[in-house]
């Protein structure tokens, strides 16, 4: 297959004064920085950028809180203390349970709050930067935790979940964008995949806490897990205060001094540190200038124009597929397993195993990233999960202890596969595919679609599983096998491979409308500015336009 070659177009460069000596020097330094980082191995990059990796991973820890609450609230639907406090007795049997409508309402309340948080973050991160945004919403979180801890009724609990959800919506996109912007290309998949591991760590922690309080009598059994959320905001607030600002964010806001100070803090101390920082800053400015030519005064509307629409589509579907691939059942794992025949404590025990898959899977994915592309990992994982879901659905027709055990095992295997492939691979994809100036907005839109998909999931999944509603039980696996297949078909035709591509190269590939299947093989020369550039000049007769070749 012939390899195509892409260089910047006139349209991308028309706002850059290429005959300016300062711009020529900026471009030369940018090319030097890009070439140097491409030569780094993962080990060398970890040594050189260990400070950047530390801060990226530290701020990503904020997502532990979201993952923690994600399973806490859904696990309570099968917890006897919570059911005794808030459950509704069945008219025929007198047995209490949380109605499917309230299960949907409680799960969706935090999602609605997250939608508001996503919109707020799209403005505040562009306007004030990453650090101030993180600190403000850590304070918000500290105050709002009081509501679910002392909630006297389900409506107040739902309101508290919504208020806490605002901060989680901010952390969802802030952590991903910050992580991908402070490290070089070779480390980007690792720090963004760690974001997913933090989310999984929160799920594992919540599963362990819910299991630990299973024998605690009274309201303390459900209040204590909520109260433990106060552990996180204060240390994370302090960490955000001392963290360096994202240099990309600072450059986009025109604060070059702050960007340079951040780069000095993020780089390892070496004799060449000053020169390397200047080269890296030049690269960021060069890429930002190219993006400005396409997205000057960018708004949300720009995300739906031209090739940015394609990038927004990718972000939305990749986010939504996180739920539609079958991962939706994990959020209701305790109720799902109980519906499949497990006892309450057995369901909690299996739930801990499922949650541990987030950590184990993330580590395994780190080992796979150097060898396979993001799209390959993503699509391969979905294909394997499709098979697991079909088998789980089929076992829903079998009423035996061995079938129940097989469902539990397949649930664990499918979850582990998800956390080796689809879960971690999603984060570098959604971080890399948007243009720089629209990155926050594009990820916000994608995550907004993810949360809307989550709302639909939270409405229909409890009804699929609940014995008092549709009563599908394990047969719900068939439904998500179908949505999994549809998403994977889309991926084959529309999901590009961004492995080992810089932000600037990805911009050029999209701008030149390279098909998804050719992203991997197309050669890109980001700094080949020898194209014919139209330059306006004054003449005695008025405005004249001619072509200069920039060498």
Where residue 340 falls among pLDDT bands split at 50, 70, 90?
low
134-143, 310-319, 404-413, 486-495: least confident range: 404-413
**Greater pLDDT, 222 or 1:** 222
Residue 76 has pLDDT above 70, yes or no: yes
Where residue 542 falls among pLDDT bands split at 50, 70, 90?
very low
Residues 81, 85, 88, CA angle at the centre, nearest 5°? Answer: 110
Short-list 229, 266, 85, CA closest to 148: 229
Q: 98-128 pLDDT, tens per residue?
A: 887 788 788 788 888 888 888 888 788 888 8
Residue 297 has pLDDT above 50, yes or no: yes
pLDDT given for residue 6 in this prediction:
55
43-57, 249-263, 513-527: least confident range: 513-527
Residue 535 has pLDDT above 50, yes or no: no
pLDDT given for residue 3 in this prediction:
52
Which whole-number Å values give the CA distances from 201 to 356, 359, 455, in the listed order? 8, 6, 23
Average pLDDT value over all residues in the chain:
78
Q: 374-406 pLDDT, tens per residue?
A: 899 999 999 999 999 999 888 878 877 777 778
Instruction: Centre a 10 Å sphere on the Cβ of residue 281 and count the other Cβ atoms it contains.
Output: 23
pLDDT given for residue 383 in this prediction:
94
Residue 271 has pLDDT above 90, yes or no: no
Q: How far apart are CA 515 and CA 522, in angstroms?
A: 10
Where residue 37 falls among pLDDT bands split at 50, 70, 90?
low
Q: Report which secondary-structure segment, H or E, holds 523.
A: strand 523-524
Instruction: Supply the pTM of this predicted model.
Output: 0.69
| Percent with pLDDT over 90 in the chain | 13
Residue 140 has pLDDT above 90, yes or no: yes
pLDDT given for residue 88 in this prediction:
81
Where residue 291 falls among pLDDT bands split at 50, 70, 90?
low
Q: How far apart are CA 514 and CA 258, in angstroms?
A: 36
Across 219-223, 272-276, 374-378, 392-396, the highest mean pLDDT is recorded for 374-378
pLDDT given for residue 496 in this prediction:
92
* C-alpha dihedral (53, 249, 258, 43), degrees to nearest 10: 20
31-40, 185-194, 536-545: least confident range: 536-545
pLDDT given for residue 127 in this prediction:
84
Residue 485 has pLDDT above 60, yes or no: yes
Residue 548 has pLDDT above 50, yes or no: no
Domains of the chain (ranges, CATH numbers): 49-243+297-495 (1.20.1250.20)
First CA to last CA across the chain, in angstroms?
A: 31
- Largest distance between two CA atoms of the chain: 95
């Amino acid at each position: 297959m012939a390899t195509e070659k892409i260089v910047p177009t006139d349209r991308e460069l028309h706002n850059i004064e290429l005959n300016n000596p300062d711009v020529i020097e900026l471009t030369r330094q940018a090319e030097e920085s890009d070439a140097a980082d491409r030569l780094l191995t993962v080990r060398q990059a970890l040594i050189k950028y260990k400070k950047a990796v530390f801060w990226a991973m530290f701020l990503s820890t904020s997502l532990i809180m979201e993952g923690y609450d994600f399973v806490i609230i859904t696990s309570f639907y099968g917890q006897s203390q919570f059911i005794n406090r808030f459950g509704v007795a069945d008219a025929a049997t007198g047995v209490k349970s949380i109605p499917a409508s309230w299960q949907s309402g409680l799960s969706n309340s935090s999602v609605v709050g997250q939608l508001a948080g996503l919109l707020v973050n799209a403005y505040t991160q562009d306007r004030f930067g990453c650090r101030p945004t993180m600190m403000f919403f850590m304070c918000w979180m500290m105050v709002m935790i009081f509501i679910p801890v002392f909630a006297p009724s389900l409506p107040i609990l739902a309101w508290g979940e919504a208020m806490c959800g605002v901060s989680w919506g901010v952390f969802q996109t802030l952590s991903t964008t910050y992580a991908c912007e402070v490290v070089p290309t070779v480390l980007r998949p690792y720090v963004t995949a760690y974001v997913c591991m933090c989310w999984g760590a929160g799920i594992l922690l919540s599963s362990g806490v819910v299991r630990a309080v299973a024998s605690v009598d009274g309201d303390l059994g459900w209040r204590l897990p909520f109260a433990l959320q106060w552990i996180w905001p204060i240390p994370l607030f302090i960490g955000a205060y001392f963290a360096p600002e994202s240099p990309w964010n600072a450059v986009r806001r025109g604060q070059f001094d702050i960007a340079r100070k951040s780069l000095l803090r993020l780089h390892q101390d070496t004799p060449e540190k000053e020169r390397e920082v200047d080269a890296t800053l030049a690269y960021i400015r060069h890429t930002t200038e190219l993006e400005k030519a396409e997205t000057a005064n960018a708004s949300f509307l720009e995300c739906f124009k031209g090739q940015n629409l394609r990038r927004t589509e990718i972000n939305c579907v990749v986010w939504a597929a996180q739920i539609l691939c079958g991962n939706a059942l994990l959020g209701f794992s305790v109720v799902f397993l109980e519906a499949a025949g497990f006892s309450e404590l057995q369901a909690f025990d299996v739930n801990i195993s499922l949650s541990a898959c987030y950590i184990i899977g993330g580590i395994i994915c780190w080992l796979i990233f150097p060898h396979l592309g993001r799209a390959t990992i993503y699509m391969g994982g979905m294909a394997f999960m499709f098979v697991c879901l079909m088998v789980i659905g089929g076992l829903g027709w079998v009423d035996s202890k061995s079938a129940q055990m097989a469902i539990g095992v397949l649930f664990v295997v499918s979850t582990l596969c998800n956390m080796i492939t689809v879960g971690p691979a999603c984060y570098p994809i959604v971080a890399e595919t948007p243009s720089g100036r629209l990155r926050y907005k594009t990820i916000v839109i994608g995550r907004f679609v993810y949360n809307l998909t989550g709302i639909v999931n939270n409405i229909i999944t409890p009804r699929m599983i609940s014995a008092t509603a549709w009563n599908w039980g394990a047969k719900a696996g068939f439904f998500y096998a179908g949505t999994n297949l549809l998403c994977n078909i889309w991926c084959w035709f529309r999901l590009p491979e961004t492995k080992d591509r810089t932000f600037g190269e990805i911009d050029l590939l999209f701008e030149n409308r390279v098909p998804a299947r050719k992203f991997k093989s197309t050669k890109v020369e980001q700094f080949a500015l020898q194209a014919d550039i139209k330059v306006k000049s004054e003449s005695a007769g008025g405005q004249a336009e001619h072509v200069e070749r920039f060498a």
